[in-house]
């Protein structure tokens, strides 16, 4: 186990966030020790807006045994989703194609029920192991209240590993589906972001609504509404969390949109 003071801006895809104590856990014993005081769990940091003041709680990151995986057995919550998507295609296993292009650890993808219109994480789950209250417990996906970009994990629950629901399919078929998902993502910006900032209102696209309001290019400091896709807020380099939050609020003054990101603290 490693415990160090870090700046969370180095651990989030938006590139913002202040100091925290990072606990990198590698074994169940580490996890038990790390959770003896208040904590938060960090995945790939792809859906997080961390404030410039940082966080008081321990920030736990899963590594070691928690990052090991076998597509036909248990997959550690610290494993990187993009690697699984590629490896599944290579092995002729279908079920993860719709998750192509989502930067996430498995645990973060479960918590957020990450997805695209081609499929979401919950569809690909057979079982989920969660650590809470000092012990590991296995859940069926139906028990976890999955919905559009949401889940109901037990309070303080840390996803530690999952079993995936994958079907053998011809590789060409899997690759064709992946190409379709990839094409649907072409309009998304490559600059630093945390994916879509807002949830799509039922039957609508937040990105289109923001675009139609003429808000693309709106800027606070180095935080800007992407010119490529209205639902992406990008960090042009030196954005502070405060700049990003101010931009979020400016958009919400124009449109009643619900933030998709998790905000720390
Ligand atoms: P983090 O951002 O690190 O954490 C998110 C939440 O999950 C936090 O509350 C954290 O505490 C919790 N968490 C993390 N790990 C665990 C764990 N093991 N147990 C319990 N809780 C945990 N999302 C989509 O749904 N679809 C997309 O198409 C998509 N495209 C994106 C494109 C880009 C370029 C980027 C930067 C992001 C995109 N996202 C997308 C957002 C993001 O990738 C997802 O929300 C993803 O699920 C976040 O996973 P993470 O591991 O980074 O979690
Ligand atoms: N559109 C515009 N202007 C814009 C952006 C979009 O007119 O600035 C239009 C597009 O032309 C399209 C429609 O709006 O007709 C929908 O856009 P898009 O296909 O990009 O899908 P989206 O609803 O904006 C959703 C997810 C993405 C996911 C894509 C691909 C949400 C909030 N967003 O985007 O997920 O990658 O579909 O399936 O559900 C995320 O959640 O972080 C994320 C990036």
pLDDT tens-digit map of 243-261: 999 999 999 999 999 999 9
Q: What is the structure's pLDDT at 252?
A: 98
What is the per-residue DSSP string for 192-241?
B--SBSBPPPTTS-HHHHHHHTT-TT-EETTEEE-SS-TTBEEE-SS--H
Q: What is the structure's pLDDT at 104?
A: 98
**Residue 162, strand partner residues:** 75, 128
Find the mean pLDDT for residues 197-205. Answer: 98
* Strand 119-120 with 223-225, pairing: unpaired
Both tokens of 165, joined, read 């629901």
Determine if ligand 1 sits within 6 Å of the CB of residue 108: yes
Which residue's CA is the nearest one to ligand 2's atom 15?
208
Q: What is the structure's pLDDT at 128?
A: 99
CA of 13 relative to ligand 2 center, distance in Å: 19
pLDDT in tens, 113-164: 999 999 999 999 999 999 999 999 999 999 999 999 999 999 999 999 999 9
Q: What is the structure's pLDDT at 49?
A: 98
Coil, strand, or helix at residue 129?
strand
Both tokens of 3, joined, read 């415990």
CA of 172 relative to ligand 1 center, distance in Å: 29
Q: Which residues have C-beta atoms less than 6 Å from ligand 2?
A: 116-117, 184-185, 187, 195-196, 199-200, 205-208, 211, 229-231, 260
Q: What is the structure's pLDDT at 139?
A: 98
Is the overall model pTM greater than 0.95, yes or no? Answer: yes
Which residue's CA is the nearest one to ligand 2's atom 28?
116
- Please choose, from the candidates 135, 131, 128, 133, the residue with its C-alpha nearest in 3D space to the C-alpha of residue 151: 128
The confidence band for 218, taking pLDDT boundaries of 50, 70 and 90, is very high
Percent of all residues in the chain with a pLDDT value above 70, rounded to a whole number? 100
Q: Which of 12, 207, 224, 227, when mutated, tests ligand 2's pocket best, judged by the most ligand atoms within 8 Å of its CB?
A: 207
Q: What is the structure's pLDDT at 255?
A: 98
The domains located in the chain, with CATH, are 2-65 (3.30.43.10), 68-172 (3.30.465.10), 192-254 (3.90.78.10)
Determine if ligand 1 sits within 6 Å of the CB of residue 76: no
Q: What is the structure's pLDDT at 20?
A: 98
Which residue's CA is the nearest one to ligand 2's atom 23?
205
Q: Which of 78, 85, 108, when mutated, tests ligand 1's pocket best, judged by the most ligand atoms within 8 Å of its CB?
A: 108
């Amino acid at each position: 186990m490693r415990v160090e003071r870090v700046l969370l801006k180095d651990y989030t895809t938006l590139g913002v966030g202040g100091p925290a104590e990072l606990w990198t856990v590698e074994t169940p014993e580490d996890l038990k020790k790390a959770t003896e005081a208040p904590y938060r769990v960090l995945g790939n940091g792809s859906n997080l807006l961390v404030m410039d003041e940082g966080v008081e709680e321990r920030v736990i990151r899963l590594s070691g045994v928690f990052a090991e995986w076998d597509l036909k057995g248990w997959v550690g919550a610290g494993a990187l989703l993009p690697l699984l998507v590629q490896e599944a295609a290579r092995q002729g296993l279908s079920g993860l194609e719709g998750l192509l292009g989502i930067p996430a650890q498995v645990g973060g993808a479960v918590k957020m029920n990450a997805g695209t219109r081609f499929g979401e994480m919950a569809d690909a789950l057979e079982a989920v192991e969660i650590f809470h209250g000092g012990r590991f417990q296995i859940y069926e996906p139906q028990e976890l209240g999955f919905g559009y970009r949401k889940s109901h994990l037990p309070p303080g629950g840390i996803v530690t590993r999952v079993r995936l629901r994958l079907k053998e399919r011809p590789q060409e078929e899997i690759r064709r589906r992946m190409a379709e998902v990839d094409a649907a993502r072409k309009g998304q910006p490559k600059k630093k972001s945390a994916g879509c900032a807002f949830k799509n209102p039922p039957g609508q696209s937040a990105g289109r609504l923001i675009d139609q309001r003429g808000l693309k290019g709106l800027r606070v400091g180095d935080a800007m509404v992407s010119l490529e896709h209205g639902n992406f807020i990008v960090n042009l380099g030196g954005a502070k969390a405060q700049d990003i939050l101010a931009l979020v609020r400016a958009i919400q003054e124009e449109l009643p949109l619900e933030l998709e990101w998790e905000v720390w603290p």
